[in-house]
């Protein structure tokens, strides 16, 4: 892997997984690059992978778009996070489970810090209350389920046996309120791993500080979704709703025909 913007950098060795012992120089350098510009009081980073033509999945999952360098960056970004935010659909499709110490670069985490917790967003609590992501989290990284006040009470009770419930919004999840609540619980550095609907909601509320995008050297089925899904804005038919967000390229890396872009949002 090599940095190609803003300046040419040295070759960085791709590390296949987190490992004990001294932090590899390549991981240390990448962590430095991805930390640049973060604000201590709160930072929301989104990490997505897409084909050259913008598809976010192959055969319904994102794994087919990935590669060794993408997986290394994935583990680094998780290691830097306090909380991993994900939509319920993505959690089901990608078979999410609690973060494991052996999968992370513990050297990048504060001493004695728990593994990053997960927060799953689901308006109607369409998530298995006995699934591993809900029941298997360590005590210090208890899974959070972000839902609405109108979500079924029986499902809230079932999930609350093992996970923490956060209500944000009456009928639909209010992502601004959700992020504020998560930060109020002490989660300053939030990593969103999708899916496209969740990222669209965050972007519409100008809550995204940073987008990390892996571009996979593939042309995919045009029916696959894109990294941001359209959301309902309540705008009358025929009227334009400008939900665009301007981005500034912070760095660009390349490895084996993959591109790794880090964008900061202009607010």
DSSP state string for 25-58: HHHHHHHHHHHTT--TT-EEEEEEEEETT----B
Domain span at residue 204?
2-220+246-265
**Contact in structure between 48 and 194 (CB atoms under 8 Å):** yes
pLDDT in tens, 111-166: 989 999 999 999 999 999 999 999 999 989 999 999 999 999 999 999 999 999 99
**In the chain, what percentage of residues exceed pLDDT 70?**
94
Q: Which one, of 132, 62, 123, lies nearest residue 90 by Cα? A: 62
Alpha-carbon span 61 to 90, nearest angstrom: 9
**Structure confidence at residue 242 as a pLDDT band (50, 70, 90):** low
**Mean pLDDT, range 196-219, rounded to an integer:** 96
Let me know if residue 184 belongs to a domain: yes
CATH of the domain at 209: 3.40.430.10
Let me know if residue 226 belongs to a domain: no
> Lowest mean pLDDT: which of 56-60, 75-79, 118-122?
56-60
Q: What pLDDT is attached to residue 37?
A: 93
Q: Domain tally for the chain? A: 1
Let me know if residue 181 belongs to a domain: yes
Strand 2-5, strand 210-216: pairing = unpaired
pTM for the predicted model, two decimal places: 0.94
Let me know if residue 241 belongs to a domain: no
Alpha-carbon span 120 to 86, nearest angstrom: 5
């Amino acid at each position: 892997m090599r940095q190609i913007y803003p300046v040419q950098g040295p070759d960085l060795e791709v590390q296949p997984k987190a490992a004990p012992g001294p932090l590899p120089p390549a991981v240390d350098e990448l962590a430095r690059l991805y930390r640049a510009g973060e604000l201590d009081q709160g930072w929301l980073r989104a990490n997505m992978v897409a084909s050259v033509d913008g598809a976010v999945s192959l055969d319904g999952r994102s794994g087919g778009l990935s590669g060794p360098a993408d997986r290394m960056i994935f583990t680094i970004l998780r290691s830097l996070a306090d909380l991993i935010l994900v939509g319920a659909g993505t959690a089901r499709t990608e078979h999410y489970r609690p973060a494991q110490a052996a999968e992370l670069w513990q050297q990048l985490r504060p001493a004695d810090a728990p593994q990053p917790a997960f927060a799953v967003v689901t308006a109607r609590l369409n998530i298995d209350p006995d699934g591993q992501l809900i029941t298997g989290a360590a005590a210090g990284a208890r899974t959070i389920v972000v839902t609405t006040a109108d979500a079924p009470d029986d499902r809230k009770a079932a999930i609350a046996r093992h996970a923490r419930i956060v209500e944000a919004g009456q009928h639909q999840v209010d992502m601004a309120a959700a992020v504020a609540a998560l930060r109020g619980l002490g989660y300053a550095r939030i990593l969103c791993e999708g899916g496209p609907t969740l990222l669209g909601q965050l972007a519409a509320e100008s809550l995204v500080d940073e987008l990390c995008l892996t571009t996979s050297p593939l042309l995919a089925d045009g029916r696959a979704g894109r990294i941001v899904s359209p959301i309902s804005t309540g705008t009358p038919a025929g009227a334009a709703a400008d939900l665009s967000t301007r981005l500034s390229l912070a760095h660009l890396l390349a490895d084996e025909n993959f591109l790794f872009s880090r964008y900061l949002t202009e607010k």
